Amino acid sequence: MRYISTGQVSLPTSLKEAVLSGIPDDGGLYLPETIPQLDKHFIQSLESLSLQEIALGISAAFLADDIPVTQLQEIVTRSMNFDVKLKKLDDQLSVLETFHGPTMAFKDFGARFMAQLMSFLIRGEDRELTILVATSGDTGSAVASGFLGIPGIRVIILYPEGKVSPSQEKQLTTQGQNITALEVAGNFDDCQRQVKRAFADSELRQVHRLSSANSINFARLLPQSFYYAYIAGKLMSKKGDLVVSVPSGNFGNLTAGLMAKRMGIPLDHFIASTNRNDVFPKFLQSGEFFPRPSDQTLSNAMDVGDPSNLARIRYLFKDDIQAIRTEISSWSFDDEQTREKIAVIFERFNYIIDPHTSVGFLGLNQYLETAKKEVEGVVISTAHPAKFPESVEPIIGESIPVPPQLAQYLEREKQATHMSIDYEDFRQFLTDTLG
């Protein structure tokens, strides 16, 4: 299978080039030349398949031309060594817990699969691969965990100073070994801008082999499609439309769901639930996209004012705004609404959610208020609430037990290098560090 750029200038390329380069020379994002249709028998069997079996089936549809199935099985086994849980709260509402991996966030799916895939693609090579990743929270910790100790790969994580939760910061700054954290005096968009400029710096890339672990890299999206197929399998006997609410910031998670639907997975509608960084809802309303600096919110991993994956969404829909509106609804919610929904879900179901998941519930509720048909609603729960005790505990009036996966990081000492938003400072750091 070949991979094409949404910029439509760079020539189609191989899986290895698409994954290891991360981003095309024309500044677009990679997508498969065609999205394969899954076998009907596979889709009909989803109900009885494990997450790992689903992962192997979908990854083989995309990657089997480049990677032997036995090697794909190893990649899946090493990366998907945790599960998801679908909890039904009432007749119309379910929540998919995607936070049971080592860093307790959905991004463990993409980061761990990508690490194993990249490790396979660079086998036998002497030249080091450097991963540059910008994070607004959970991406950094998941990438740090997923790539820790992978031979031949160095990881440099840029995160916004004072704009990630304490537990997120500890997870991404205390790994050591081949993981380096940069604390940037700006917001997530500043971090992402530094990474994109480095990729566009031809002189730098001639000297150093750079790639990305953000959702700008296609290898991050593919494994996130696995759990959308899992949802469809578990709800095969649904009575109404299957509607999935996705807490959205950089829109990689939503794009993975859209890809799953195009593979043939029976998903009916998506809700892009955003915090007050509302550039996507406004795009759906007006048909025009106006990026802006991001605002800091309780749901910090979604604090994105210029979401990269909008380029993929527009490409998938041939930039037809009416077609996008048919398949995706989107609303934004503020911090007060986020707090209120955390309280309501706890009081009604005795169930604790984090701020990002709260935004997902708000989006689904908004949709249900106007739905004129039967709906089976699912909220993607993207992070364990124990990662945000300073936000959640005052709302529910209880302490949240700290899972072992988080507790192991909290007593470690932070190790991060302060970095300005000046690209030349970042460039000099890369030159000095990478040699």
What is 84-103+220-402's CATH topology?
A: Rossmann fold (3.40.50)
Q: What are the distances in angstroms from CA 55 to CA 72, 81, 146, 174, 246?
A: 10, 11, 17, 30, 20
Catalytic residues: 107
Rounded Cα gap, residues 302 and 247, in angstroms:
8
Q: Report DSSP letters for 412-435, one per residue.
A: SPP--EEE-S-HHHHHHHHHHHH-
Model pLDDT, residue 192: 85
- Please write the tens of the pLDDT for every residue from 268-282: 999 999 999 999 999
Model pLDDT, residue 373: 82
125: left (phi over 0), alpha (psi -120 to 50) or beta: beta
Q: At what angle do helices 335-349 and 355-370 cross, to 10 degrees?
A: 80
Q: What is the mean pLDDT of each run of 10 residues along the chain (435 residues)?
A: 92 93 86 95 95 96 94 95 93 94 91 94 89 84 90 93 86 90 92 89 89 85 96 85 95 96 97 97 96 91 91 96 97 98 97 97 95 90 93 96 85 91 94 87
As given in the structure block, the two tokens for residue 309 are 């994956």
Q: Are 357 and 247 in contact (CB under 8 A)?
A: yes
Rounded Cα gap, residues 274 and 303, in angstroms:
9
Closest CA to 378 of 367, 389, 393: 367
**How far is CA 54 from its chain centroid?**
19
- Please write the tens of the pLDDT for every residue from 309-323: 999 999 999 999 999
Model pLDDT, residue 205: 87
Model pLDDT, residue 35: 96
Model pLDDT, residue 412: 87
Rounded Cα gap, residues 324 and 315, in angstroms:
10
Model pLDDT, residue 396: 97
Model pLDDT, residue 175: 87
Q: Supply the pTM of this predicted model.
A: 0.90
Rounded Cα gap, residues 60 and 70, in angstroms:
10
- CB neighbourhood size of 119 (10 A): 17
The sheet with strand 375-381 has its strands ordered as: 85-90, 93-97, 375-381, 241-247, 269-274, 328-332
